[in-house]
């Protein structure tokens, strides 16, 4: 398994941990993500312009796609660095849609139950509050 330097306060640190669990439990493919092998690391999952991989993600946007590199915790677009707040703003709708689907499928307390069951690593624990705030527009998504 690849090791990544993660920022404890970055909501995507927690989001990627949850997405990894979703992939292992089959929720990504059940939701409609197309799974394809890659030469490095895990498989790539793609749905509606969002492409996920353990090393990062790509979101198709008008003009140039937005890339997030999980190892460096940076966003780029057209070869230029994008501020993290802007990158996360572009991603919010796609991640919100996924979390709403997960909550509808498993119930509003599901994510918290995963935290209790799997006891995530410290960087993920440190990123949970920023993740909750980032996706706070999802009613009753995280806490019950």
For the purposes of burial, counting CB atoms within 10 Å of the CB of 52, is it exposed (0-12), middle (13-18) or buried (19 or more)?
buried
Which pLDDT band holds residue 138 (cuts at 50, 70, 90)? low
Q: What is the average per-residue pLDDT within 102-117? A: 96
Bridge pairing between strands 50-53 and 44-47: antiparallel
Q: Is the pTM of this model over 0.85?
A: yes
Residue with tokens 């019950």: 144
**Domain range summary for the chain, segments of one domain joined by +:** 11-134
Residue 3, pLDDT > 50, answer no
SS3 34: strand
Q: What is the pLDDT of residues 39-89, one digit of tens each?
A: 887 899 999 999 999 999 999 999 999 999 999 999 999 999 999 999 999
Cβ atoms of 76 and 58 closer than 8 Å: no
pLDDT score for 136: 84
Taking only Cα atoms into account, the Rg of the chain, rounded to an integer number of angstroms, comes to 14
Q: Which ranges in 72-135 belong to alpha helices (H)?
A: 84-106, 110-118, 122-134
Terminal Cα-to-Cα distance of the chain (whole angstroms): 33
As a whole number of angstroms, the distance between CA 105 and CA 136 comes to 18
């Amino acid at each position: 398994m690849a090791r990544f330097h993660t920022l404890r306060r970055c909501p995507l640190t927690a989001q990627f941990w949850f997405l990894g669990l979703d992939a292992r439990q089959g929720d990504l493919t059940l939701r409609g993500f197309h799974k394809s092998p890659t030469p490095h690391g895990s498989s790539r999952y793609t749905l509606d312009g969002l492409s996920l991989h353990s090393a990062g993600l790509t979101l198709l946007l008008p003009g140039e796609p937005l890339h997030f590199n999980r190892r460096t915790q940076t966003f780029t677009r057209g070869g230029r660095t994008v501020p993290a707040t802007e990158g996360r703003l572009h991603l919010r709708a796609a991640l919100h849609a996924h979390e709403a689907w997960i909550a509808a499928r498993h119930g509003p307390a599901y994510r918290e139950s995963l935290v209790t069951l799997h006891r995530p690593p410290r960087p993920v624990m440190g990123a949970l509050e920023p993740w909750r705030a980032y996706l706070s527009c999802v009613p009753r998504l995280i806490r019950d």
